[in-house]
Amino acid sequence: MTSPEHTLAPAPPRKRSPRPAPGTGASRAFAWLLVVAGSLGLLGSFVISIDKIKLLEDPGFVPGCSLNAVVSCTSVMQSEQASAFGFPNPLIGLAAFAVVIAIGFGLLSGATYPRWHWIGLNVGTLLGTVFCMWLMTQALYDIGALCLWCALVWLATIALFWYTTVHNIRHGIIPAPRALVAGVLEFHWALPTTWYLVIAMLVGTRFWSYWQTLL
C-alpha cells in the first residue's frame, strides 16, 4: 500500500519576490570631492546671490569682488547673461550644489544609488559645465569683465562633472573599452588640469594689457 507521502505530488517551490538590483556606492575620496566642490560652488552661488540682492536694493552698492574695471563682479551681475533664464543664475547653483553636497554626505554614510541616479548626476553636471563655459565666454569676450566668485563656480562644476564621469566609467555605469577605462583611471588628473590651464590662458590673454600693469 502506497503511503500518502508518495501519492501527493511535491509542492512547487515558492517564488521569491525579485530583489531590487543593488546600487553603486563610491570611494570616500570621491564622496569628499562632491562635498568639498559642492560646498565651494554653493559658497560662490550664495555670495553672488547676496550681492545681487544688495545691488538691486542699492544701484550704488559695490561688491567686495569688484576691484577695478577688469575684476568686476558688478559688471557681470548687471549683464543680461546674469539672468539667462529670466531669474538670477546663482539660484540654479544654490539648488544644484545643495543636491550634490547631500549626495556626497549620503555616500560617506554608506549609501548606494541606482544606475539612473548616477547617469542623472552625470548629465546634470555636464549641463552645468556647458552653461558655465558659455557664461565664461560671455564674461571674457562680451561683458569684458571677470567675476572671481563666478570663476570659483566654474572650477567647482568642472571638477564635479569630470570626476562623476570617472566614477561612472570605473564602475561600468558608462560602458567603455577596457583600454580607455585604464587610461582614464591612471591619468584622471590630466583633463581637468589641462582644462584649468586653458581657462587661465584665456583669462590671461584676454586681459593681458591689465595684467601687465601689475608686473
| CATH number of the domain bearing residue 42 | 1.20.1440.130
Indicate whether 12 belongs to any domain. no
pLDDT, tens digit, 9 for 90 and up, residues 16-28: 544 544 799 999 9
Residue 21 pLDDT: 47
Number of domains present in the structure of the chain: 1
The answer to whether residue 38 is domain-embedded is: yes
Q: Return the pLDDT at 213.
A: 87
In Å, how far are 40, 62, 64, 116, 118 from 51, measured between CA atoms? 17, 8, 9, 36, 33
Identify the pLDDT of residue 3.
47
212 part of a folded domain: no
Cα–Cα distance between 50 and 74 in angstroms, integer? 12
Does some domain include residue 122? yes
What pLDDT score does 214 carry? 84
Residue located via cell numbers 500518502: 4
Measured CA to CA, the distance from residue 188 to residue 165 in angstroms comes to: 10
Residues of the chain with pLDDT under 70: 1-21
Residue 112 lies in a domain: yes
Structural domain for 172, as ranges:
25-207
Residue 159 belongs to a domain: yes
